Every structure is written in structure tokens, then in C-alpha cells.
Structure 1
Amino acid sequence: MTMKMFASDNNSGIHPAIMEAIAAANSGHAPAYGSDSFTDAAIGRFKEHFGENCSVQLVFNGTGANVIGLKAMVRSHQAIICTDGAHIHSDEGGAAEGFIGGKLLISPTKDGKLTIADIERQLPNIGNQQRSQPKAVSISQCTEIGTVYTIEEIKALTSFAHANGLYVHMDGARISNAAAHLGCSLKEMTADAGIDMLAFGGTKNGLMAGEAVVCFREELATELAYIRKQGMQLGSKMRFLSAQFERLLTDDLWLENARQANAMARLLADGLAKLPGVALTQPVESNAVFASMPRPQIEKLQQAYAFAVWNESLNEIRLVASFDTAEEDIAAFLDASAQALEG
């Protein structure tokens, strides 16, 4: 299938440089379960970007990265504060609650961002034995509606959380897109901003498969390897995960891919905003575009393109650009959108 899709950046292919790295790792034998030179090199790259004191566990997917990181922070009688749109709440099949045994405390939001007020509302539960005890805060960077926390917003949240005995987890499935938008380093947005645990995304940014749990708190890192194994996320042929990350984090490939996806989303948004009857519904700060358009137009477009209807009642759609989205892909979709309006 040659048609480019806008349903998800999971639909994209593998970056050629990543494919080459996998092929290069496929030579001879290597020790299993991460005791290999490829994994050593990948972890070295993570430390270059996040600091020497971080701990890294490579896993297969984003759900695994989230629940393993959260389980190191939260016991079964405790709770995680997150938004109603958080992936751990709305799109991971209850994995967090099922694997950890704890509870998610949900805060509604219009822009995808958790606030200090959202956290503060849960604090009276601390010390009440009848209630799940808040112990962690989870934020998504980028959020599920494409918005991006500023570094100042992250620092404010982590300072408040830490002052009240709470850890802070970041779901960074699209963290590279956030860094590209903010023009900052990965470390500035995580370790330097007070994040305790990060799920670092690779699959949505050019990898075949693979995410990473990056821990910035020594007391949380000691159990992660055991939790990863129990969570069925320890790869036996780890070198093929590791080779991908080593290449992604070399020569700013991660940033190049994210910048391309973000730029194509911006181009798409600018074009859609010029069409009659079409309105952007969220700020375009990453690689996702949210827009409303007439229902007949949506139905006609879906005959040729894959994308999500995000909110049926508002006729709101989500369009996601990928590292391999090109200007001609955007032009073709905009032409199709204009034609759907006409006829």
C-alpha cells in the first residue's frame, strides 16, 4: 500500500537508517537479554542525552514502558493522578491498574494538560485509609491532543508534586516532537525539570519497535529490571532493540524526524485553516492536527485516507503527520479536502 495515512504515526514505516542499524546488528551471535555491546552503546547514548545518572531499561512498546515505570513508583493501595485523556487511562486497556493494582485518579481537561489545581484536589485523600493514596502524577509530553507543556509548566508541576510527597512520571511517546517544538534538549525537559520517570518513545519516531524506561531517581531504579522481566518486556535478542536506539540518538536523527513530522503538521494545519467550513480545534504544537469539518466532507475523505474521527458530536478529526510525511502528501490531502467540499 503506497497511500500515506494520517491515522497515526504508528502507521509509518521504519526510517532507512534504523533499518540499516537492525541489519548491521544481524551478524553472528551476541549475548542475550541485554548483555551485549549494542545495548551498552544504546545506554551510552541515553546517558549523553539525559545525564550520566539516569537508568535505562529498553522495552517493546509504550504500554509496557508506562506500566513498568509506574509500578516502580506506586504500590497497589496507592494512586496515580492523570488527565481524562491520558493514554494510561483511555488507550491502554486498563493495563496500569491491572498490572500495578493501584487506581487512576482522573482530572478532566480541555487542553490535555494537568494543572497544579488538579493535583491539589486529590491531596485531602492522603492519610485517609478509606481512599487510594495519591503517590504519583503522570503527564503526557506531547499530550494526547498535540499540545506541549512548557519547561516552566513541567517545573511547576514537579515542584508542587515533590513538595507533597508525589513522584512525577512522563509518558513521552512523542517527546521528540515536544523537544522539536520547544527547541530544547531532552534533558532540559525531563531530568532538569524534575521528572522522576520517563517512558521514552521510539516507535512513533521512525523505529520498528521499541520504547525505553528512563529513570532519574536512584531509589526507583533498583527494582526496574525485575519489574521489566515480570512485565514480560525483557527482550531476549535485545541487540535489535538497542541498535535502533543507538542510531536514533546519534547525529540528532530523533530530532530530524520529529522536526519533519511537526513541519508537515503545521503545513497541513495552515492549508486546512484556509478551507471554508473547516476550523482548527486545538493549537498545533507537535505532529497532530485537530480540526472540525462538515460530516459529508469527512465521509468522502475517509474513502481515500485513513484518519480518526476524534469527537463524533463535534465532527472533530485528528490527522497525524510522521517522519516520512512529505509536502506532496499534504498537498494531495488538501486537494482532496477542497474537492470534498465542492461536491
Structure 2
Amino acid sequence: MTTKMFASDNNSGVHPLILEAIVQANQGHVAAYGNDPYTAEAIQKFKAHFGEACEVAFVFNGTGANVTGLKAMVRSHQAIICTDGAHINSDEGGAPEGFIGGKLLTSPSADGKLTISQIERQLHHIGNPQRSQPKVVSISQCTELGTVYTIDEIKEITRFAHENGLYVHMDGARLSNAAAHLGCSFAEMTVDAGIDMLAFGGTKNGLMMGEAVVCFNPELASEITYIRKQGMQLGSKMRFLAVQFDRLLTNDLWLDNARSANHMAQLLAEGLVKFPEITLSQPVQSNAIFALLPKAQIQHLQKKHSFALWNEEKDEIRLVTSFDTEKEDIAHFLADVKNSFS
């Protein structure tokens, strides 16, 4: 057995059923740029989950999904409110500001979540032409710290945002993990909760590549097709992106994958907290574990395992499980943790 990494769910392979779907789609010729039956079928699967009114555009990666959706919502003199740890702020190389031209207005967050009070503080300069004008609230589900917004929390944010003339964008790179944790449907925590635009993640949940922009607000949908092309996110052989989502959304494969990853994270967390020297710095609500370890133990584990040193000052690490993480991987890691204290 090859021990798997805990650095990121991006490090995982491709689910065998997704690979099988790609191979099956690799038959003959079809029209390019999404004018094919595979893409049409995948879009219908999204409509089955999110409602007939949604508009769907497949893109190559998460940054592409976020930026494409946000550009449809924001003009260059406007701003996006998010946490300082949001992926659009900390892990996208300035792409949102560079491609959109707007500004990110960030707030610190101990648990990765954005609050109404933090949003409200960014609204004081509305109408001041010397300041970027807030137009979008962007939240991540799951957050970058592995935490999950409840449906009520999302509804509270969307209600406040809409009352103040703001749109709400959701970075759903790990939306499947959030749905598995909450035991709800995709629609319940997105369109039904008032979300205007969603970046739906697939790569972290078993796909080879690909994410989807899902628009719920008809005022915003018409521009996405053109923004996707200008942003270099329109795949010519679209069927190979689309067929992955078709299979992922068939027979609850998305849910099986997410539940497995979440369950492995719980097992790993339960094993870690048995050591008195280790504490969890965030609740484990998805497939990510944030833990505080003595520096010596971190250095020992780094010799054999791949994981993120999240905050070096706090000796905080991040461990991420994947759809293909197995109990043997957890046991192997925990055995090495035990050995590090010997």
C-alpha cells in the first residue's frame, strides 16, 4: 500500500468511475465548446440538484470559477467583502483584483466565517466616490479553516446583503463536504438560502480537473458566457470537463466521496486528541483538521508525511483527507505521531 498525503485533497488521484466516464466520452467526434450532448446532460444534472432556473458554465479550475462568477457581479470601481483568509484573497495570486479590476475588502476571522457585523463595517463609505463601493459579499463553504456555515447563517448573510444592495457569492470548492456535514441538499444551502453566484468544486472531490460556475440570479447570467471566454476558461473539448460532473452528480457519487473524506477526517481527529500534547484549533466539520503540535513532533512527522505547516508561529498544522483516504493511512500517521513522542 502507498501511504497517501495529507497536504491537500488536490493531491489525490481521480475516482475510477470518473476516469471510466472520461474514457466512455472519448468516442468519435462531437461539436466543440460545449455544443455537445455530454455538456447538455451535465447541465441537466445541475438543474436537477439546483433547480431549472440556474445557469451553468464549466471552467478549468477554482480560481477560474471564482473570478468568472465575480466579474459578472462587480465593476472595476466596486469591491468584494470577504475574510482575510478567503481563497480569493490569500491563494489566487491576485487574480480577482487583477482580472476584475475591483478591490477586496477583507476582515480577520478566527473561524474562517464572515459575520454581519464585519460586513456592516465595510458599508460606511457607500456613496463616497473616493472609496471602492461594496457590491458583493463572498463566503466560502466550507471555509478555508474547514468550518461550515449553517443554513441559517447563510440566510442571515444573504438577507442582510440583499437589503443593502449587495450580491452574495459562494466559493464552493468543497461544497460537497459541507452538504455531507449538514445532511442537506446543495439547493438548501445555495439557491434556497439566497446565494446569487456559486463556484462549484469538483477537483477536490474526485475529478481530474474542472469546476463549475452556477448562477442563480438571472440579472447576472447573461455575461458569464463572454467573461468565461475572455478569461481563458472556455474549453474547446468541453465534453471531457462536463462528463466528469455528469458522473459525479449521478447516484450520489459526490456524496459518497465527501462522506468518506469527512469520516476519515473525524477518525484522524479522534486519534490526535488522544495525545495530551495535541489540541485541535478548529472544529472538524469537513475533511480538514487544524491542530497544534509541539514543534519537535511536527519536524519528526515532516520527515515521513506531507502536510501543511499552516501557522509556524503557533505550531499549527493542517491535515486534509480525500475521497480515497483509507483507515490504514490514518493508522499509519497516528502510529508515527505516537513514535514522535517516544
- Tell me the TM-score range normalised by the shorter chain: over 0.9
> For 1:19-38, what aligned pairs fall within 5 Å after superposition?
19-38=19-38
The equivalent residue for 1:166 is 166
Q: Distance in 1 between matches of 2:3 and 2:31?
A: 40
The equivalent residue for 1:64 is 64
Deviations 1:268-313 (A, max 9, x none): 0000000131111100000000001111111111111100000101
The equivalent residue for 2:332 is 332
The equivalent residue for 1:44 is 44
> In structure 2, the residue corresponding to 1:123 is in which secondary structure?
coil
Deviations 1:181-232 (A, max 9, x none): 0000000000000000000000000000000000001110000000000000
Amino acid at match of 2:170: M
Q: Distance in 2 between matches of 1:126 and 1:198?
A: 25
Measured after TM superposition, the shift of residue 124 of structure 1 is 1.4
> In structure 2, the residue corresponding to 1:318 is in which secondary structure?
strand
* Residues 1:84 and 2:84 aligned together: yes
The equivalent residue for 1:141 is 141
The equivalent residue for 1:288 is 288
Deviations 1:119-144 (A, max 9, x none): 10011111000000000000000000
The equivalent residue for 1:132 is 132
Amino acid at match of 2:313: S
Instruction: Give identity over the alignment, percent.
Output: 73
Q: Distance in 1 between matches of 2:200 and 2:303?
A: 34
Amino acid at match of 2:63: T
* Residues 1:209 and 2:188 aligned together: no
Q: Distance in 1 between matches of 2:300 and 2:335?
A: 12
| Moved segments of 4+, more than 2 Å | none
Deviations 1:95-146 (A, max 9, x none): 0000000000001110100000011001111100000000000000000000
Q: Distance in 2 between matches of 1:238 and 1:303?
A: 41
Measured after TM superposition, the shift of residue 2 of structure 1 is 2.8
Q: Distance in 1 between matches of 2:70 and 2:118?
A: 19
- Where in structure 1 are there 5+ consecutive unaligned residues? none
The equivalent residue for 1:73 is 73
> For 1:159-198, what aligned pairs fall within 5 Å after superposition?
159-198=159-198
Measured after TM superposition, the shift of residue 3 of structure 1 is 2.7
Q: Distance in 1 between matches of 2:122 and 2:297?
A: 43
TM-score (ref. length: structure 2): 0.99
How many matched pairs? Answer: 342
Measured after TM superposition, the shift of residue 37 of structure 1 is 0.3
Deviations 1:297-343 (A, max 9, x none): 1111111110000010110000000000011110110001110111x
> In structure 1, the residue corresponding to 2:261 is in which secondary structure?
helix
Q: Distance in 2 between matches of 1:320 and 1:123?
A: 35
> In structure 1, the residue corresponding to 2:262 is in which secondary structure?
helix
Root-mean-square deviation (CA, aligned residues, Å) is 0.7
The equivalent residue for 2:271 is 271
The equivalent residue for 1:55 is 55
Q: Distance in 2 between matches of 1:63 and 1:121?
A: 27
